[in-house]
């Protein structure tokens, strides 16, 4: 079956191939939905000093990744793109939080996360701060001075994620 890298897949066209990190699975009737990962080729060739499993343990307190998280994190840390669809509570947030921390520790700058929900921004930034990660958000709840403060902190490299 032909692969069209960079294009959106039609339903259930990609079989999982050995060595290919793109997966699409059609769940059996009544089975829970399977995670979906659409990823491009990695773009970052410099190795990062912090191992993802070390960040998982030290920052988030988990001993091991669940399901496809390790593959997704590896793809994103390497600089590749990923579109991940998982059920609520499936661990999607760690799939971008761990790469953001690893890349920032290696001097690759601030990671920008786009979220359509202000409440989710507040929750995730609060949880990251509790875990010792410098995070901030920019949205309509901030006044001009608060926005300027976040932007200054970003430009100085003081923030891991915004």
The per-residue pLDDT for range 63-100, each reduced to its tens digit, is 999 999 999 999 998 888 888 998 988 999 999 999 99
Same domain, 116 and 48: no
Confidence of residue 135 (pLDDT cuts 50, 70, 90): very high
Distance CA 59, CA 53 (A): 10
What is the residue-averaged pLDDT of the chain? 79
Domain tally, the chain = 2
Q: Residue 16: what pLDDT? A: 43
Nearest to 105 by CA among 50, 44, 162: 50
What residues pair up with 42 in beta bridges, in sequence order? none
Confidence of residue 109 (pLDDT cuts 50, 70, 90): confident
**Residue 103 pLDDT exceeds 80:** yes
Same domain, 85 and 72: yes
Domain that holds residue 114: 110-162
Question: Alpha-carbon torsion 63, 86, 16, 41, what sign?
Answer: negative
Q: Which of 72, 88, 109 is the last residue of a domain?
A: 109
Confidence of residue 126 (pLDDT cuts 50, 70, 90): very high
Q: Which of 93, 109, 125 is the last residue of a domain?
A: 109
Q: Which of 109, 132, 147 is the last residue of a domain?
A: 109
Q: Residue 30: what pLDDT? A: 56
> Exposed e or buried b for every residue in 71-99, given b needs 16+ CB within 10 A?
bbbbbbbbbbebebebeeebbbbbbbbbb
Same domain, 102 and 124: no
Q: Residue 160: what pLDDT? A: 94
């Amino acid at each position: 079956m032909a692969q069209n890298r960079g294009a959106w897949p039609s339903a259930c066209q990609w079989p999982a191939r050995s060595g290919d990190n793109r997966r699409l699975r059609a769940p059996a009737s009544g089975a829970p939905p399977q995670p979906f990962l659409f990823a491009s080729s990695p773009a970052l060739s410099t190795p990062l000093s912090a191992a993802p499993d070390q960040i998982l343990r030290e920052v988030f307190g988990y001993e091991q990744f669940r399901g496809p998280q390790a593959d997704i994190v590896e793809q994103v840390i390497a600089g590749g793109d990923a579109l991940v669809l998982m059920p609520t509570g499936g661990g999607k947030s760690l799939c971008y939080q761990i790469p953001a921390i690893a890349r920032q520790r290696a001097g690759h700058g601030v990671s920008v996360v786009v979220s359509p929900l202000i409440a989710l921004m507040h929750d995730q930034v609060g949880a990251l701060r509790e875990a010792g990660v410098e995070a901030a958000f920019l949205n309509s709840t901030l006044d001009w001075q608060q926005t300027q403060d976040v932007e200054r902190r970003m430009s100085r490299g003081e923030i891991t994620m915004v």
